[in-house]
Amino acid sequence: MNVNFNKRDPVYVQVIRYFKEQIATGVFEPGQEILSRRELAGRLKINPNTAQRAYKEMEEAGLIYTERNLPSKITKDEHVLKSVRQELIMEAVDDFVHSVRSIDVPVDEVLDLVKEKYESTSDGEEVQND
């Protein structure tokens, strides 16, 4: 587990984002146990209060759940899982559109370039088969 935190976004937000990415890409599977708050703080070298905050927010958003005193787990809720993936895709698209707009390229030209680039990388192939 290695996260490159930036220094200007709240750390808890970055932790949640990391979890969403792992969920969306299937690294964290539905129902999988996750590290305790303390373990996560140690692993990422972040403040334990921040890890606590991230877990609290994720619990409220239904991304993770805790039964009795057992370790927390990744949600099995299909609806939530789908929306996580959707959210990340939309964010990436928004960022992309934003940066492309700023250099003023016609959308068709960009889309051709995107397809070309996408097909030439192995990362892209995996997603295509999806």
Partner 1 sequence: MIEVNGIKKKFGRKKVLKGVSFTAEKGEITCIIGINGVGKTTILNAIMNLTPLNGGEILIGGEKINKHSYEKITFIPDAIIMQPNMTIAESMQFMADFYDSWNQERAIELLDFFKLKEHEKINSLSKGNRAKVNLLLGLALDVDYLLMDEPFSGIDIFSREQIAEVFTSHLVEDRGVIITTHEIGDIEHLIDEVVLLDEGEVLKQFNSEEVRETEGKSVVDVMREVYQP
Binding site for partner 1 (CB under 8 A): 5, 7-13, 38, 41-42, 44-51, 53
**Residue number with CB closer to partner 1 (31 or 71):** 71
Contact 12, 54 (CB under 8 A): yes
Which backbone phi and psi does 50 adopt, to 5 degrees? Answer: -70, -40
To partner 1, the closest distance from the beta carbon of 103 in angstroms equals 24
CB 32, min distance to partner 1, A: 22
Residue 26, CB half-sphere, CA atoms under 13 Å: how many? 3
**20 vs 53, beta carbon nearer partner 1:** 53
- Residue (38 or 117) nearer to partner 1, CB: 38
H or E segment to which residue 64 belongs? strand 64-65
Q: Are 73 and 32 a contacting pair, CB within 8 Å?
A: yes
Q: How many CA atoms does the CB half-sphere of 32 hold within 13 Å?
A: 10
| Maximum separation of any 2 CA atoms in the chain, in Å | 55
Residue closer to partner 1, measured from CB, 10 or 31: 10
Minimum CB separation of residue 21 from partner 1 in Å reads 18
Report the nearest approach of partner 1 to the CB of residue 37 (Å): 10
